Structure formats: C-alpha cells, structure tokens
Amino acid sequence: MTNKESIKPNLPSGNVLMIHPQYVHYSGAFTKDETPFLPLGLLYAGQILEKNRDITIQYHDCQLYDIDRRNDLESYDSIGIHVMGAQNIAPSHHLYNYLVELRIDPKRVYFGGQGVEELQPDEFKQIFPNANLVERQALVSSDYWNISIRDQLDKFSENDLRTYLSNELTLLFSQGCKYNCTFCGAQTSMRETFYNTKGNLMAYFDIAKELGIDSLHAYVTSLDFFQQVLKGGNTRKLKKQLEDIVNLQKEYSIRLRLRALARADSYMFASEDKSLMELVKEAGFYQFGFGADGAANVNLLKAMKKGTSDLKSKLMETFGYSEKNGFTPEILYVFGIEEDTEGTLQETRDLCVGLLNNFQTSIYRGFPAKNFIPGNFNWTRADWKKSATRQKLLDNPELFANLGFETLANHISHPDQNARKLVNKYAIEMSYFAHQLGRVQSFLTVPIMETNGHELMDDESFEQFREIVGNYAPNIAKVLTMNNLPDYREQLNGLIPKDT
C-alpha cells in the first residue's frame, strides 16, 4: 500500500487557523524571533484552500507571537500547521502536544509541507497520532502555479508586514531540478516549473509602497536558477521572468536585492548569453550559491549522483566568471556523507579554503550532511527503516531538530562517533577559517546530545568552536566547556545567527 493510497486526502474545513511553528532552536519558553521570515509556504497553502473551498483562514506566526497567549483555539474548526523541513518536525511536534494538552481534538489538526509530506503513514501516525497529513497533491489545482498570495497578506497587521518586509523574503520563482542528489529532500528528478513571480512580486511591492519601503531583499526559490539554458530548456521562459522583475522595479521605484542557487555548469552556459546576464544584473541579483558538494573527489560526486565528474575545475572557472560579472559566489557545500573518509574531508577543506583564498568576494556556506531525511533517497532504504536511529527519531520527535543542516554532526545524523567527530573536526575548521576572513554565511548550531560535548568533537575542535561562538555569545563562551555544552545548548543556539 503506498503513501498516496493509505492516507485519505482530507482537507481543513470551516474556520481555520493556520500556524507557523517557532524557530527550531527556540525549543524552550517562547522567544520572539529577531529575524523572522514571512511563512510563505503557509500563505500559499492558505490561498489555495480559501480559493477552492468554502473556508475562512486566519494566521498565527509563532516567530512573533506566543501561542500560549491565545484563548480562542477551541473556537476553530480546523488548525493547519506548516512543517517547512525535516528539522521543523521538532517544533511542530511540540506544538501538536500543546494542542492535545488543551484538549483540541487531533482530528481537527492538519499538517503539511515538505518536512512531513514524504513520511510513511506509520511514521506520521506515530509522530502525530490521529492528526491529518495534507499531501502536496491534494492542494494542486489547475492554477496551482499561477496563484497570488495578495489576499493572504491582507490578513496580517501593518506592523507584522513591516517586520517581514524588513527581513529577507522568499520570492516564488520556480521549483524542480532534473538531478537527483541522494541527500536532497527537495523536488528532484523533475522538470522546472515556474510560479506566478510577477503577481507575487506585485503583492510585495504594493505593500512596500504603502509602508514607504523602497528596497527589499529576497531569496529566490529556484533549485538551479539557470537550468533553462541546459539542453532541452527554454531560455526565453527565464528571460520573461527576469523582464517582469526588472519592469516592476521601474514601475514601483522599489529596488530588489536577490540571491539564488545555481549549478556551476548551468551558470557557465548562461554566462555566454550576454543579454541574459544583463537581465540578471538589472533584476537585482547579487549572489549565487553554487552547489559544490562532492567537488573535491570524483568518487563522492558519483555517490551523490550529482550528474557530473569534473565539478572541481568547473567551480574554479565559475567563481572567476561570477566575480568578473559582479556577483558574489557562495561556496554551498554539504559534506560528511557515508562515503566520506578523513582523506576526502581533507580534500574538501583544501578545496573550500582554496576557493576562499583565490576569490576575494566568495562566501563560505558549509553544512554537515544529514544523510537520512524524509523525502530524500536514503530515507526509503531498507537498512534505514530497520535502524535503531530511525526508531529514536520516531520515539522522540524532538530529535528531528538534529537534522537541521546548520547543526553539527550528531548521534542522529552520524551514529558512529568516530565518523561524527571527524566530520565536526572539518566542519568547525572550515567555519573557523571563513570566520577569520569575515566571509561566512553558515553558522553551526549545537544538537541535542545523549551525554555531553565529548561525543561531538575533540578538544582542539572545541576551542575553535568556542572562539567562533564568542563572536555572538561572549558571556557564554567564557564559561563554556565540553561538559556543560548541553546546559547552554538552547541559549547558545538562540544567539548564534540563523543560516539565511
């Protein structure tokens, strides 16, 4: 029996409260988020539901408001909770338990989002007993890609909208990537499809204009921004989206700063099209994150199924072209997969350090791999399904917090302690080097531990880690030890900047 067949695709009804859980590393008492983002996935689902069903929707964002202060939860016919990624299962489970304690009927609670939609029925039922799973397919309508969230934005206060627009937004652009990297939980092995970028950007601009905001920052949703230039693509589609962005900025007199992900090979092909690159600049792009995973070793590239065998040389060329074109190249590197050894991790460190040294505007954004997450290839493997680690996650869903890519390798992501310490040795070393240069964008957080810091790293790595976090939490860094690291985990993670 498949996932699609075994869970009835029922949807929220009546008066619905849609909730965005708090930041995964604020797991204690309510903490107002200093850098909240507009919960776009929740709003997109809300727009689809409200447009196609006879329901009314309101929102509660736990980034901004304590759910414990609401006294009207019982009055809603349905409660929807958005789970953005695997790590967000942890705060979502905490929220679910809170609702159950209030005697909210779990049958009135609905979960959706990338973090849960690929859970198997038995997994979902164990984590969220008697609740409902809303699969993506249940929300897909004929106009799924053309929806505008303008009506949903109107449901927020002016103060909240100003807060969201003052932080980095997410710009719906496209989804889908033809490659199938084993660790990726996004929409892989599929053709790129474009959203209604113009309509949603107009929604942002209308509000910005009303609030007197003349510039916005946004992260673009594409998995490979330039993939339309590859064989079988349609570059005209990409140019049309860019032309819309350029024209809207002129019409509203609002400036955009945009960043996106790209593959080195697609960027190199795109660089040959002068009119395309001029449009990219004019649209406001300033940074591209290049998936460098596995580039240091051909065997790793093959293990990751990256679809290339010469990424290292392409990266050097791409970074050069990127800086020449005025874009900041970002070293987006996931390392610590099962096939990694000390030798390959050394190669990874040398490659990342070399890129930082050779390209003076480059930024490091490295993550210890989380090899098994709902939605990626590894999650379906027979050996994983029988593993003790998977059972630990299901028995204690709070441990899903350890699957955040920004989190140090831990007993969930790397059950073998020797491998775990080795991965963290190089994770901390690379981050330390980038910190010294002032060119780091990823910030390593502390996982939930079984004992103490000795299970994560050796003494030398700890001293480097303590020096790094001293930039954000100097008072904690002064008293931090391997033994008391678990005691300071929540407080420390709240002070370490979020990966953006």
Residue 140 confidence (pLDDT): 78
CA distance 392 to 402: 12
The residues, ordered by sequence, that sit 6+ positions from 157 with a Cβ below 8 Å of its Cβ are none
Residue 190 confidence (pLDDT): 67
Structural domains in the chain, sorted by start: 3-139 (3.40.50.280)
Residue 143 confidence (pLDDT): 79
Each of the 500 residues of the chain gets a pLDDT tens digit; together they read 344 444 445 899 999 999 999 999 887 788 899 899 999 999 999 999 998 889 999 999 999 999 999 999 999 999 999 999 999 999 999 999 999 999 999 999 999 999 999 999 999 999 999 999 998 777 877 678 899 999 999 999 999 999 999 999 999 999 887 766 666 656 666 688 899 999 999 999 999 999 999 999 999 999 999 999 998 899 999 999 999 999 999 999 999 999 999 999 899 999 999 999 999 999 999 999 998 888 888 888 888 776 666 788 889 999 999 999 999 999 999 999 999 999 999 999 999 999 999 999 999 999 999 999 998 889 999 999 999 999 999 999 999 999 999 999 999 999 999 999 999 999 999 999 999 999 998 899 999 999 999 999 999 999 999 999 999 999 999 999 999 999 999 999 999 998 87
CA distance 19 to 12: 13
Within a 10 A sphere around the Cβ of 410, how many other Cβ atoms?
24
Stated pTM of the model: 0.93
Residue 247 confidence (pLDDT): 98
CA distance 59 to 153: 10
Residue type at 355 in one-letter notation: L
CA distance 414 to 357: 30
The residues, ordered by sequence, that sit 6+ positions from 5 with a Cβ below 8 Å of its Cβ are none
Residue 185 confidence (pLDDT): 56
Q: Which two tokens stand for residue 358?
A: 């050779």
Residue 5 confidence (pLDDT): 41
E strand spans, 124-265: 132-133, 169-171, 174-175, 193-194, 215-220, 255-262
Residue 107 is classified by DSSP as G
Q: Compute the Cα dihedral for 433, 436, 437, 442 and give only its sign.
A: positive
Residue 408 confidence (pLDDT): 98
Residue 217 is classified by DSSP as E
